[in-house]
Amino acid sequence: MMNRLHIAGWGLLVGAAGQCGLLAPSVPRLPEWIVFTSLLPPWLTVYTISFCRKAPFGPRRFRHCLIFAIGWYAIMTFAAESLRFCLPPVRIGHCPAMFARALIYSGWISIVALVRTCILLRHYETSTSNFPAPFDVT
């Protein structure tokens, strides 16, 4: 399961690039690297957790980290779309809005793997069996 999460995490990075392409023209006073850095926590969370062979903590905290990544990605997508709708972009060029949206919504495909893992972790959490000391989700 960790390898599927690791691969799905790269979709969040692609989505963050699309969010930056949609969000950066709406806030021209901020450098693009600051905007992009603020969009990276979902990818960094999933990448860091899935890089390990065994989860660094139990199923509840693991599920909460995945929910955090999903929520951050959803909020930033909503912010990028609403700012694009409310504030007209200052400069035209660099990244067409349609291409940025294609990257954002292709990043949403990775959310399917995250939600599936959250459901599986919730099942492990509520079962009555005891888990080994370091929770193994492989």
Q: Where are the domains of the chain?
A: 2-126
Average pLDDT over residues 46-72: 86
pTM across the whole model: 0.81
If pLDDT is split at 50, 70 and 90, which confidence band does 129 have? low
pLDDT digits (tens, 9 = 90+) for 88-104: 766 655 667 788 888 99
The answer to whether residue 127 scores a pLDDT higher than 60 is: yes
pLDDT of res. 77: 92
Mean of pLDDT over the chain = 83
The answer to whether residue 106 scores a pLDDT higher than 80 is: yes
Q: Which residue has the higher pLDDT, 75 or 131?
A: 75
Residue 15, helix vs strand vs coil: helix
**What separation in angstroms does the CA of 118 have from each of 27, 29, 40, 88, 98?**
34, 38, 20, 37, 31
pLDDT of res. 58: 81
